[in-house]
Structures are given as C-alpha cells and as structure tokens.
Amino acid sequence: MKRICVFCGSSSGGDGAYLDAARAMGNAIVRRKLGLVYGGARIGLMGAMADEMLARGGEVVGVIPRALVEKEVAHNGLTDLRVVESMHERKAVLAELADGFVAMPGGFGTLDELCEALTWGQLWLHRKPCGLLNVRGYFDRLLAFLDHAVAERFLQSEHRDMLLVSADPDQLLNRFAAYTPPVVEKLIELEG
C-alpha cells in the first residue's frame, strides 16, 4: 500500500471526539509511512486530518472540484492539490490514487463516496479494502441496515464482509494490510 483515501466530513461534527479521531487517523497513516488522498478541504474533519499529517511530514494529496475552490474551502498547504471539474471526476481520481478507502463520520458526500467504492469492489472494478472508522458508534445504524440487506437477500454476506470496521485507526489499517477480496462468482440468484 502506498496511499489511503479517507472520506469524511467537511464539518467537525457535534463532539470533539470526531476531530480527535481525524487527527488519530492522520497520525496512524503517517506512522505507517503511507500517504493520504482525500477531498482537499481545509475545514472540518478533512482539514484536521490533513493538518495532522502535514505537521508530521506526511504526504497529503487533495482532490477538489473547482466549484469548492471558488467557495474558498480548498487547503492550499498540501503536498499536491488537484483541481477537477466535477464530483464524478473527483471520485475517479481519488480511486485511482488510493490503495484502500476509509470512511469516517460525515454526511451525504461521505456516504456517496463509500458506497461507490464498495460497489466498485463488489463488481471487481478494484480489489482494494474498504473500511469504516466507527467513531462513537457513528455507523452502527448503517451496519445494522447492511445486515438487514443481507437478511432480505439484497446483499450477499461476502459483499457485506468487504466492509472492514473498527473504532481504532491502527486496528483498521492492520485489517487493511491483511485484506483478501472475496471471490463471488455471481450475484444473488433469482428464485423460480
């Protein structure tokens, strides 16, 4: 692994534990001598994680749509800031530069990016690990929903298991290092 992509909020959230977790994630990535690729913002969890990595001498690559640069949210102190034209292009560049994907607390954008990375893995468009840093149980209800999707036969258990989960950044990255993608020959069969 060379770089980890982290999807997370441009907000800091309502509890200081989220900012602490963003800094801890950045610290864990730097200690492993990995680079970070992320959404390129200077604010919220994104900015806190990038700043932590930069303060420790880490490589930080941001990928941000031009419309967000114009709203003055781009982090101008990064190792590399790539300005793209759309959110679609942003996700493609993030995926190309990353060797694994972590989602931290965030909103619609974070969920969109996570779901796309998981879907691409399910369809064998990549074989990279995907995980959740489950700070304060933030994703517990999402995980329960995914279990429900398995029970209702909309998601195979092997694909559900692609999503690695931990509340600890180091433990999550250890699981990334040991990740083996599932081999599922076909999607859920139709009955009848």
Over residues 29-59, the pLDDT tens digits come to 999 999 999 999 999 999 999 999 999 999 9
- Is residue 190 domain-resident? no
Share of the chain above pLDDT 70, in %: 96
49 is a domain residue:
yes
Establish if 182 belongs to a structural domain.
no
- What φ, ψ does residue 162 adopt, rounded to 5°? -65, -25
Number of domains present in the structure of the chain: 1
108-166 confidence digits (pLDDT tens): 999 999 999 999 999 999 999 999 999 999 999 999 999 999 999 999 999 999 999 99
Domain that holds residue 21: 3-177
The answer to whether position 106 is within a domain reads yes
Q: Which CATH number characterizes residue 78's domain?
A: 3.40.50.450
Looking at residues 100-104, what average pLDDT do you find?
98
Domain membership of residue 151 (yes or no) is yes
Residue 54 lies in a domain: yes
pLDDT of 192 above 60: no
Domain membership of residue 184 (yes or no) is: no
What is the pTM (predicted TM-score) of this model?
0.94
